[in-house]
Amino acid sequence: MKTPLLLAAISLLALTSGAAMADDNDGKTAGSGVTNGRVLGVLLYRAAGARQSTGSKATSVSCSNFTGASQQVQIILRNYDFTTTNAYNITQTIPKNSNRTYSTQNTSWLSEDDSGDGLNTLNQGTLMIRGTSKDIHCSAWISDLTATTPAGATPLNLVRFNAATGSNE
């Protein structure tokens, strides 16, 4: 009789430790703009290739909230070695049926709602976008700061993790 209980306890332990690893925060506090010292609940997107070079390149993200209520979005950028030191980590509220744009520094052709001016160089970085709803849709790109039009932008390939309600993403 003890064997089934022991197996159930081991299974539960394996499931919870796997969930902690999937949290992508490894139990550490992520930095500024984080809700209760943790990342927001729903992983929406990931991408590789984020860049930040003062006066030259910036990573930009634009997110739309297609729900009937305000939602939060969290954008986390890490350097190639996954350090968060001087990386971009911001949580902002997007009003219902609205769009917000974020960049690691101000660009010439966007009107950012928030920027991380003053960040150090970020090379071969990773981007993670989390939110309070699956019904948030985002795009991301590398902006050329010298360009005055979107022609100087290079799209980042976002990988979606939690499909929006009623979609087949």
- Domain membership flag for residue 17: no
- Domain membership flag for residue 9: no
- Domain membership flag for residue 81: yes
Structure tokens at 23: 């949290």
How much is the pLDDT for 84? 63
pTM of the model: 0.74
Cβ-Cβ contacts under 8 Å for 167 (sequence gap 6 or more):
none
How much is the pLDDT for 138? 96
Q: What is the domain-level CATH number for residue 126?
A: 2.60.290.11
Q: What is the DSSP letter of 53?
A: B
- Domain membership flag for residue 166: no
How much is the pLDDT for 38? 56
Three-state DSSP string of 3-44 = HHHHHHHHHHHHHHHHHHHHCCCCCCCCCCCCECCECCCEEE
Contact between residue 60 and residue 111 where contact means Cβ atoms under 8 Å apart: no
- Domain membership flag for residue 5: no
How sure is the predictor about 100, in pLDDT bands with cuts at 50, 70 and 90? very high
Which domain does 67 fall in, by range?
Answer: 31-160
pLDDT in tens, 75-91: 988 888 877 655 778 89
Rounded to the nearest 5 percent, the helix, strand and coil shares of the chain are 15, 40, 45
pLDDT in tens, 35-51: 444 568 899 999 999 98
- Domain membership flag for residue 154: yes
- Domain membership flag for residue 7: no
Give me the percent of the chain exceeding a pLDDT of 90.
35
Contact between residue 86 and residue 120 where contact means Cβ atoms under 8 Å apart: yes
Q: How far is CA 137 from the centre of its chain?
A: 12
Q: How far is CA 63 from the centre of its chain?
A: 10
Q: What is the C-alpha separation between 18 and 16, in angstroms, rounded?
A: 5
| Domain count for the chain | 1
Q: What is the C-alpha separation between 115 and 55, in angstroms, rounded?
A: 13
Q: What is the C-alpha separation between 42 and 131, in angstroms, rounded?
A: 5
pLDDT at residue 153 tops 70: yes
Q: What is the C-alpha separation between 109 and 94, in angstroms, rounded?
A: 21
- Domain membership flag for residue 22: no
pLDDT at residue 55 tops 70: yes
Q: What is the DSSP letter of 166?
A: T
Q: Which residues are bridge partners to 128 per DSSP? A: 46, 76
Mean residue pLDDT across the chain = 76
